[in-house]
Amino acid sequence: PATGQLWLTEMDFATAGFRNLRANPLLFSLIRSTEPYLDTYADYQTSPEGPPHDLRNIGFGRIRLAAATGRHFALLATKPADGVDARTEPIDDRRAETAKADTHLQTWEAKT
């Protein structure tokens, strides 16, 4: 279709929860064993040239980001009608204002 929306929910590597995870050598090595390119992806995702920038460059406009959980964010991007150039619209990043507490259990905790 000529217009539409893309909704994406993804890990937010800028959150305290993921910073703590990456700082824990044991947990991080376990993740790296199954996700060998996690550092590359995390660096791309948190860079100014990350997903919102790339989506805007391919024609998406009205790009909005908000915290979804303490470790994830939601991104909504709108593809305008053919012939409409929305690449000049600013990216609306509300992750700081909508930040959530990290509610994951600590490594030593168990749900009862």
6 pLDDT more than 90: yes
**Domain contains 54:** yes
User: 75 lies in a domain?
Assistant: yes
Structural domain count, the chain: 1
Q: H-type helices in the chain, by residue range?
A: 16-23, 25-34, 38-46, 51-57
99 found inside a domain: no
Q: What is the pLDDT of residues 25-68, one digit of tens each?
A: 888 888 888 888 888 998 999 998 999 999 999 999 899 999 99
Structural domain range at position 53: 4-93
Q: Pick from 33, 75, 84: which is nearest to 54 by CA?
A: 75
pLDDT of residue 86: 86
Whole-number average pLDDT of the chain: 88
